[in-house]
Structure 1
Amino acid sequence: MPKILLIDDDADERKLTRRTLSDNSSAFEIIDIATRAHYRNALEQGDFNLVITEYRLAWTDGFCVFADFKNLYPTLPVIMLTGHGDETVAVRAIKQGMADYIGKNRRDTLFAAVRQALQRPLESPPCQNKASGILWCEKWDQVISKLTSDFAYSLGIGEDGRPTFEWVTEPFKRFLDSHARYGEAPGLLDHHFGLTVHADDQALADRHVAALLNGYEDIAEYRIVSNGGEVRCFSDHALPIRDWSSGKVVRIYGTIQDITWRRNAEDKLRLMQRAIDSSNNGIVITDLADTDYAIIYVNQAFSTLTGYNSEELIGQNCRILQGDNRDQPEIDNLRQALRQQKDGYAILRNYRKDGSAFWNEIYISPVNDGHNRVTHFIGVQNDVTARIEMEQALQQSDLKMSAIFEHVSDAVLIFDQQGIVIRVNPSAEKIFGYGAGEMTGVGLERFLADAERKTHGQYLSNLSKDDEELVIDIREVTALKKDGGPFLVAVGIHELRLENKHLFVATIHDLTERKRAEAKLKASEERYRALFENSAEAILVNRGGERIEQVNQACLRLWRADTPEQLLAKKPLELVHPDFRDLVNARIERNLERDASVPSTFEEKILRLDGTAADVLVSTIPVVDQQGPLIFVLLVDITERKAAEMALRDSHKRIQDLSGHLEMVRENERIRIARELHDDLGAFLTALKMELSWLERHLPDELRECHIKIRSMIGEVNDSIQTVKRIITDLRPSLLDHLGLLPAIEWLVENFSQRSGIPCSLELPDSKPAMDTNRSTAIFRITQEALTNVLNHAHASKVEIAIEADANRLILTIADNGRGMTADRQRQDESYGIQGMRERANYFGAEFTVDGQAGAGTRIILKMPLKDNESERTDD
């Protein structure tokens, strides 16, 4: 497979080139070169068949690249593929001997050029002289120096294609003498040096040999069986060297490493790792203090326990599991164990990757090497969250019960079967106004109004019947404070059996504030009803999206109903104009899903009961009450306002059409003037130049002053012709009419860069967008005006222009790095240029935005539809 170096520091351009080659053939190995370092490495390696380079690179240019490769690899074909060249660059590239020169706008011809370059026969030997030959030898010496090992060799490839040893290192020669069967195949690579390859690795070894003979560097690992049956593992790294005059492989350099011990160690390590990976305990291995005890291994159980995968943990310290909670007392146990290099144990509160907490039981142990030096630490971890939480729950149960009793806002009284109070909480003291000593040891009837005491006696009678189930509902009763003041409370009694004791708990809730709130709520409801009925806005209540629950008088007027029942009998969507029902239904569903009462406002049409339509401004407020979700809908009739807006839009459209028509008239006038200047004044000046030239040729040589004067006049006529050409181009560039928008913008950008000295990059679409002449003119003029603004006002050092297009729309982006066109500056009088650009865009229904920040440049974006959404505009 041919290997191609692709040298381009633009990632997007490399991607396009790769796609062009892969779309035509997959038989290439393409190596991307984007930096100076990658370029130097590739230059030293030399194992490639063709180079494709950009002309303009960040660290050099394409001709320097060609010179570098030509010096080292005289026959290597080089193609220049560039988006920054011109005819001069192309001629220079071909004259210097490049295989081809291709502009990126002709990237589709690249594949044919690559195929031709790879198949083209060599016309001259690579080593033209002695110095060139020495250069090749030095290249081979570099290869040898890279492949240093105990087992190294060099093989020469004869005319018959058979490789033979040129030299081997002494250790390799001794190994071959003791293991190879030279009688069968003395030193032949196609027989693997006369060694017996393990049967399972024969195909791998054959592929290795084939790759080398085909010119590809290759590394292969295979097993060798000695004469005594011993199996040894080899890693064979070889590099073929080509004769570039013929393209054939003439020599192979290689090194062989005996990796038998490494393979055996790896097998044992895999077995041990499999055992660790299968453990249900989380296991982690870390380095020592000089690497901050960095994690070097975790098993699957550890990843499952913490939620982190191994890539996220390798190189981290285990404190990553502690989050911000790094002051736990038991952490010191582990720190001390690490310092003293001994076993350690702790239970810590750790945190998984998702932030969830768990209790982690950790055992750590040091790992010693053969010299009894600690090299690593192993940690074994278990999730003991359930055990810790159970212990904590048991410890905190009594505390919680005590806290509830002491801090609950309701009064709690514990009494026996005779109704004698045994214990009260602080809230009972506060509610009744007694101290705890005053309330204990007395009967419950002391805290009840006279009317409630008879019922209380019946309760006590029921409490004394142990054989019956106690059922006492929560009920409202009148209680007495210490000062004798009555107040309403809700009382609930619950049975409590503790060993031999039979007790009861009375929970008493003061209803004073609730009763007061109920009274306020009733008054609020009355005020709400008055506001609801007398509101100038139409208000209806939509219950669950299915039915109308309430309407006010304004609703009756809006829908022209006589009675509320006419509207209540209908479903909400029946009152909406058919064109808006799907939209309103979706909005109802969104309102019903909301948790917060966030109002939303929008415009829609309704259908009155008499069949007429009306425009309304609607606000919705989602609410949830005891019966479920509902929506308050507020409506304002905006029919008259919409009619006024429509009239205003029509007026604005006529003004916009007039402005566009005037612009087209001005453009046509520019075309006429440019044509007349070209046809009349240009022809006159050309004729005058010809007459002056004729006069100079026919004047006697001795009239030197006349000759000088005529030549001066010819120069002035030439300057006048150029001035006329510039004026004609400014009025109407001929490229726009003859070649279209994209070439005209290319000319405009190049002309701007030459006149201003400001670098200006341009990105164009692959295909020409289909659009009418008027749109092309508008886009060109907007680009021209934007560049004029950059030149006159921006103080920029760089401009970037990009054009994207599809079947429906063209997007033009112009960005500079100047002082920035802020919103305040856009509103100033001198921003007429931007206003003109915006009017051109509005005429075609395009989007035009200017985004600028002080000191950070300005970005102009034009989104031009390629066709009118409405009826096509006319120019008359």
Structure 2
Amino acid sequence: MKLPTSPSSQNELPNILDRISDCIMVLDREMNCLYVNKQAGKLLGREPEDIIGKNYWDEFPEARSTTFATSCVKALKTQTPIVLEEYYQGWNRWFESHIYPSKEGLMILLKNITGQKHTKDNLIESEKRYRTLFENMNAGFVLFEVICDEQNTPIDLLIVAANKGFEDTTGLKINEVIGKRLTHILPGIEKDPADWIGTYGKIALTGEPQNFVEGSQLLGRYYSITAYQPVPKQCAVTFVDITERKRAEEALRIREQQLSLIYNTVGDVIFQLKVEGEENYRFVSVNAAFCKVTGLPETAVVGKNVEEVIPEPSLTMVKEKYKQAIRSKTVVRWEETSRYPTGVLTGVVSIAPAFDEQGKCIYLIGSVHDITKHKLAEEEILRSREQLRALAVHLQTLIEEERTRIAREIHDEIGQILTAIKMDLSLLLRTLEGVKEKKVKAEVTEEIQTLIGLVNRGVQSIRQIVRDLQPEALETMGLLAGIEWLVKEFEKRTKISTNLSLPKNEPKLERPQTVAVFRLVQEALTNVAKHAEASKVNIKMTTDVTGLHLEIEDNGKGISEKDLNRPGSYGLIAMRERIHSIGGEITISGRPGKGTKVELVLRKTMDNG
């Protein structure tokens, strides 16, 4: 093969060939280089002038073992153009070689197709990967072709392709559905409320993609679906079985509905606070009871910081309780009284912290049990009790005053009358000395002596009554002497041994306290005599810097818990109230067969004896 030799050809043709981006070489039959353009020179790494006129195999011996060399020989021999693609290791490139033979030699056109080969290989690899992904992905895939009636309305879907995920998520076998109509595979599908044929048919005809969640009555499953038009009249569908998720969501919805009903129907106040940094708490939820009890509308609470809702002085205490709950990671409870639009409210508050996975407190859940009515009733009971105790104190004072009055009147009036009667009887007895009739004298004298004895017994009884009403020792000598007299009288009447231990000095008590302590000892000894069946009583009184301490203990049959709390035990009730009225504390205890103990503590009410 020879290049044109005319002057104009020799000047123009090399310039034209050098501007071509492909590599061009012209070789004779012995593979001597007749022409090499600039692009070929760059590829071969030589200047064209250094190659022209030289044998190609001598200059590039490594090319002898290539398919390119074999193809050149074949083209010369057969005089048939050959096109081949070959990778050249040394250049790390792919080339497309066009070998054009003639009787004089070869013209070779080389195109660098490395980029195209990479693209093609990538496409093949991508297709392979996506085919593998398509076949093995968990999501189902199905390709439908829409079948329409004469009005171009979708009436059925033909299954063109499907993957294994289709089998797994529908339960339908691929080899049993490909090439078949959906209505044949799932009879009644055209009546399904989801309108699968209409939905997919519309996508196939309009090209408008859709993403949606739908359930199939026939299959008894829910799917998350993406559908689009790959080509006209076809609809490609990818879908994931979300039946379990939907069931869980439904169960959660029902659970949340139940909790919401409980949350908003429970009588106690319930609220949720979001913890937003140090000592920053914001209401995120309150139940209906919160609004009803406080009189605050939900809009005035939700989204507000606690400083905007909870009034002082409760606010400072409340925030401290919040911090305590967070620090201790436990439920904290307290009683709180605050003023709200509905009035002053008292409630038992419980606050529980909620933490995230990092252990940071993110919420506080609170409840309040309204005890306002209970507290008001409790305060009313306390007021009534105080009033009753005040009345009891007043009554005790009146009783003591009445005892004194009665004792005085008995002593002054009845005692004098009896004394006068005795004197008159004695005088009458003396006048009988002049009576001569011995029998009459003896009889009258005996009667008068009997009457004088009765009068003497009446005087003694009056004196005892007066002493019981108002012991002379208590009035004239004090508490200790009064107790000693009580013990002597008790032992005299009951024959029960009594061990008495008293302080050396008289406790300095106020008059009501002295009387109350004396009456306590008197009532306790009376109970021993009436009920205890005891043979021994120990009485011990001590005084120290804390106050007066008194113990009265017997060895009798003991008092039971039931008897202690029996409503009709008026003596015990009076004993407790009398001691409470003077600021003392009384404890009564006992065990069956082990006796009964009465303990009195009267704190800091006297000088130490």
TM-score range normalised by the length of the shorter chain: 0.3 to 0.5
- Ranked by relative contact order (alpha carbons within 8 Å, sequence separation 6 or more), the top structure is 2
Name which one, 1 or 2, has greater alpha-carbon Rg: 2
TM-score, normalised by the number of residues in structure 1: 0.34
